[in-house]
Amino acid sequence: MKISDLISGYEKFKDTKFKKYENKFLDLVKNGQNPKVLFIACSDSRVDPSLITLSAPGDLFVLRNVGNFVPPFAPDNDYHATAAGIEYAVSVLEVTDIIVCGHSHCGAIETMYTKITDINLVHVKKWLELGLEAKNYVTQKLISQSVSHEERLELTEKISLLFQSKNLLSYPDVQRRVNEGELFIRSWYYRLDTGELEYFNTESGEFEPMSSSSEF
């Protein structure tokens, strides 16, 4: 897609979709946003939270980064974009659910199994350390098993979601609201090739197909 395509798309949006949601936008401007869901997804261009969930403007507070990682709480004087978004969603917007959504064929996860030699990727290299706990867990779990590289990557993609969810609990307000039953953390896994969505069932300890009858 070229820049000219984006501009053409904008023109169509202004003439059609904006008009469809015009009253919704005006209400959001007048009364402010009030999303109930924080959706943490990967920056991968193939993953679109609003498209996957058919959500409307104002429904989701979305954070996207490489690998859908959640850095642990670190109250220092550095810049923390993802952490700031989490704090704002939980403490100001008071969302009731946090979804950490990973996906198949994730470049971030695959890169963790290779050596980064490009000296220009210093920030990428550091950021991917947030996935090492999952990689090490999977490597240890599969140490005596013969599995394909693809199976290893998929398991790492899924296990990473659980470690990222654990990192969420390092944020004081997240932990407090979870303990009080006001906030729920969910792990979802999206398959790029089939459009299927899976969720982690805490009772079975497995990722299971998502449906309207899924137990939460």
Strands of 197-201's sheet, edge to edge? 60-65, 37-42, 97-103, 184-190, 197-201, 206-209
191 found inside a domain? yes
Q: Both 72 and 169 in a single domain? A: yes
147 found inside a domain? yes
Q: Both 47 and 19 in a single domain? A: no
215 found inside a domain? no
Determine the distance from the C-alpha atom of residue 94 to the mean position of all C-alpha atoms in its chain, rounded to a whole number.
18
Task: Report pLDDT for 211.
Answer: 86
Q: Both 196 and 99 in a single domain? A: yes
Q: Both 21 and 61 in a single domain? A: no
Residue 2 structure tokens: 């070229």
User: Binding site: residue ranges?
Assistant: 42, 44, 103, 106
Q: Both 22 and 52 in a single domain? A: no
User: Binding site for Zn(2+): residue ranges?
Assistant: 42, 44, 103, 106
Task: Report pLDDT for 216.
Answer: 60
C-beta separation of 28 from 57 below 8 A: yes
Confidence (pTM): 0.94
214 found inside a domain? no
146: domain CATH number? 3.40.1050.10
Residue 82 amino acid letter: T
Q: Both 26 and 64 in a single domain? A: no
Helix pair 149-168, 132-141: axis angle to 10 deg: 130
Please count the other Cβ atoms lying within 10 Å of the Cβ belonging to residue 49.
21
Q: Both 98 and 8 in a single domain? A: no
Query: How many domains is the chain built from?
Result: 2
Tell me the CB-side half-sphere exposure of residue 98, using CA atoms within 13 A: 34
∠ at Cα 46 (40, 51), nearest 5°?
65
Q: Three-class SS of residue 106? A: coil
Please count the other Cβ atoms lying within 10 Å of the Cβ belonging to residue 98.
25
Q: Both 42 and 97 in a single domain? A: yes
216 found inside a domain? no
Per-position pLDDT tens, the chain of length 216: 899 999 999 999 999 989 989 999 999 999 999 999 999 999 999 999 999 999 999 999 999 999 999 999 999 989 999 999 999 999 999 999 999 999 999 999 999 999 899 999 999 999 999 999 999 999 998 876 788 999 999 999 999 999 999 999 999 999 999 999 999 999 999 999 999 999 999 999 999 999 877 656
Domain interval for residue 18: 1-32
Burial class (CB in 10 A: 0-12, 13-18, 19+), 28: middle
Q: What are the Cα distances from residue 195, in Å, to 57, 66, 70, 106, 210? A: 22, 20, 24, 14, 11
Task: Give the C-alpha separation, 173 to 41, whole Å.
Answer: 21
Q: Both 5 and 109 in a single domain? A: no
37 forms beta bridges with 60, 97
Task: Give the C-alpha separation, 179 to 172, whole Å.
Answer: 11
Q: Both 59 and 121 in a single domain? A: yes
Q: Both 108 and 8 in a single domain? A: no
Residue 5 structure tokens: 């395509």
Q: Both 54 and 69 in a single domain? A: yes
